[in-house]
Amino acid sequence: LAGTRIICDRKFLLECKSSPAARTPPCCLPQTPGVTSLAQSSLVKLEELKERNESEEAMPGEQPRHVTP
């Protein structure tokens, strides 16, 4: 037996792309770091970059300091 073939036209697919439901993750999606959510190490790096950018904006006259892991 063959599978069912679903055929959608281009206009319908483009409308689905901008739908509000397409912009939110499903409620029952499991949280898998690195797959369905950012990996923990990525979150730490993002926080460090955010803090560094905020400190550079607060003190524009000083030399930026480098943070080593």
Q: What is the pLDDT along the chain (69 residues), one digit of tens a residue?
A: 567 888 889 999 898 888 888 877 777 878 777 777 766 666 677 788 888 888 877 665 555 555 555
Q: Domain ranges for the chain, please list them.
A: 8-26+41-46
Q: Which two tokens stand for residue 42?
A: 């990525």
What pLDDT shows up at residue 11?
92
What pLDDT shows up at residue 10?
92
What pLDDT shows up at residue 40?
64
Q: Which two tokens stand for residue 11?
A: 């206009």
Helix (H, G, I), strand (E, B) or coil at 58: helix
pTM over 0.85, yes/no:
no
What pLDDT shows up at residue 50?
86
Contact 48, 66 (CB under 8 A): no
